């Protein structure tokens, strides 16, 4: 078998098929990567971090150190997960879990676990959720047609409800959420990010978004470069790069490296607290613990929220026993069509 890449088809004249348009030629001109440093991706893996940077600093960066702030406060990590359980003719069944973990003075303080809850989503329930907002009709159609979008909506609602309550109950705390501080098309009046940030500010809290990875290449390159520094903690203001290309930002964006031998992450701090950034980051550094530079409060909240196989089976069993459902046999179409052929008999 010939192992050349993009090998031209020799019998194009016979088949009448050719992929040689100018657009295709531009796309398949892979020789332009000659001599470049490459991080190969894995289809089933998440974010892959290069062990050493594959580029020099992409911009003139203003790297700013900040100090530990030895003031005791709660650092609260919030995370959630959602899995698909089954489907009916009209909708789909899901299960959701959420976790809240609190650190203080670099030690675990307490935690809360919510769920698993069983959620049934169809057109009717989504319309009830977005009642009175006709512009959300697109959301209704997306949730009805796309299971991944439905899981995103469920996680969004549960996380926002928990975030709203935490911001209302606690005082002078820092609440870490997994991801950026950004308004989305899923916003609901009662749990909109803007309103939650206002409540948080009234109670002396700070909601901080912390992202493990970014789809924006320039942000990834800056983070990779910052990780090469042999000192920490440091931050880099990258808001000017994002403000014209990312809509709905509710916070000022930084790249932050908390620990000398740790990774760097995107951190969003509410606009109203922009002049307290160093204090907020310093308090996180003092009150949370870190693994590879990532706050353990978020790691533990994630561990509380993930499903294991036993929980998934238990949820399905509980639904089957309590709701008098009729389980319809099914098979895995992808495996049936794409697995290797097996021949039996003689």
- How far is residue 198's CA from residue 164's CA, in Å, rounded to a whole number? 10
pLDDT beyond 80 at 27: no
Beta bridge pairs of residue 198: none
The larger pLDDT score, comparing residue 165 to residue 220, is at: 165
Give the list of residues 6+ apart from residue 234 with CB closer than 8 angstroms, or none: 63, 64, 65, 66, 226, 256, 257
- How far is residue 258's CA from residue 265's CA, in Å, rounded to a whole number? 9
135 is a domain residue:
yes
pLDDT beyond 90 at 322: no
- What average pLDDT does the segment 232-256 reach? 88
273 is a domain residue:
yes
26 is a domain residue:
no
The larger pLDDT score, comparing residue 300 to residue 14, is at: 300
Residues 82, 95 contacting (CB under 8 angstroms): yes
How far, in Å, are 85, 144, 145, 336 from residue 333 at the CA level? 17, 21, 19, 5
Beta bridge pairs of residue 83: 95
- How far is residue 30's CA from residue 150's CA, in Å, rounded to a whole number? 37
Question: Six-digit token pair at 304?
Answer: 């509380």
Number of domains in the chain: 1
pLDDT beyond 70 at 1: no
113 is a domain residue:
yes
* pLDDT at position 2: 47
Q: Which of 138-147, 192-201, 230-239 has the lowest mean pLDDT?
A: 138-147
107 is a domain residue:
yes
* pLDDT at position 52: 57
- How far is residue 338's CA from residue 20's CA, in Å, rounded to a whole number? 29
Q: Are strands 92-104 and 107-121 parallel, antiparallel or unpaired?
A: antiparallel
User: Which range of residues forms the domain containing residue 282?
Assistant: 63-305
- Here the CATH number for the domain that contains residue 282 is 3.30.2170
Query: What is the pLDDT confidence band of residue 326, given thresholds at 50, 70 and 90?
Result: confident
pLDDT beyond 80 at 73: yes
Q: Which of 36-45, 85-94, 181-190 has the lowest mean pLDDT?
A: 36-45
Q: What is the pTM of this model?
A: 0.80
* pLDDT at position 4: 47
Burial class (CB in 10 A: 0-12, 13-18, 19+), 189: exposed
Tokens 């150190």 belong to 65
Residues 292, 245 contacting (CB under 8 angstroms): no
Q: Which long-range contacts (CB under 8 A, 24 or more apart) does 120-124 make?
A: 120/91, 120/92, 120/93, 120/94, 121/91, 121/92, 121/94, 121/150, 121/153, 121/154, 122/88, 122/90, 122/91, 122/92, 123/90, 123/91
pLDDT beyond 50 at 9: no
119 is a domain residue:
yes
37 is a domain residue:
no
Q: Which of 125-139, 244-258, 312-326 has the lowest mean pLDDT?
A: 125-139
Which candidate, 280, 231, 285, places its Cα nearest to that of 260? 231
170 is a domain residue:
yes
């Amino acid at each position: 078998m010939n192992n050349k890449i993009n090998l031209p088809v020799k019998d194009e004249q016979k088949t009448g098929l050719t992929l040689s348009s100018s657009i295709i030629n531009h796309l398949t001109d892979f020789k332009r990567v000659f001599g470049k440093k490459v991080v190969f991706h894995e289809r089933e893996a998440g974010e892959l971090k290069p062990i050493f940077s594959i580029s020099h600093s992409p911009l003139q960066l203003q790297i700013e150190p900040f100090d530990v702030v030895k003031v005791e406060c709660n650092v609260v990590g919030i995370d959630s997960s959602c899995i698909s359980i089954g489907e009916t003719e009209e909708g789909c069944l899901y299960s959701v879990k959420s976790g809240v973990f609190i650190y203080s003075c670099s030690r675990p303080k307490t935690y809360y676990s919510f769920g698993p809850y069983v959620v049934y989503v169809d057109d009717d329930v989504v319309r009830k959720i977005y009642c009175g907002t006709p512009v959300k009709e697109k959301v209704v159609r997306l949730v009805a047609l796309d299971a991944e979008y439905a899981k995103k909506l469920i996680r969004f609602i549960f996380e926002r409800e928990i975030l709203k309550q935490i911001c209302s109950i606690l005082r002078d705390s820092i609440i870490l959420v997994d991801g950026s501080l950004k308004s989305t098309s899923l916003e609901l009046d009662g749990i909109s990010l803007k309103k939650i940030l206002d409540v948080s500010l009234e109670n002396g809290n700070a909601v901080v978004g912390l992202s493990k990875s970014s789809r924006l290449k320039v942000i990834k390159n800056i983070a990779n470069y910052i990780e090469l520094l042999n000192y920490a903690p440091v931050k880099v203001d990258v808001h000017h790069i994002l403000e014209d290309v990312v809509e709905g930002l509710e916070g000022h964006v930084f790249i932050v490296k908390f620990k000398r031998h740790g990774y760097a992450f995107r951190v969003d701090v509410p606009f109203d607290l922009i002049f307290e950034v160093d204090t907020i980051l310093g308090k996180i550094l003092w009150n949370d613990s870190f693994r590879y530079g990532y706050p353990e409060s978020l790691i533990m909240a994630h561990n509380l929220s993930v499903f294991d196989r036993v929980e998934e089976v238990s949820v399905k069993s509980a639904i089957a026993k309590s709701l008098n459902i009729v389980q319809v046999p099914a098979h895995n179409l992808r495996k049936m069509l794409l697995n290797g052929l097996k021949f039996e008999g003689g």
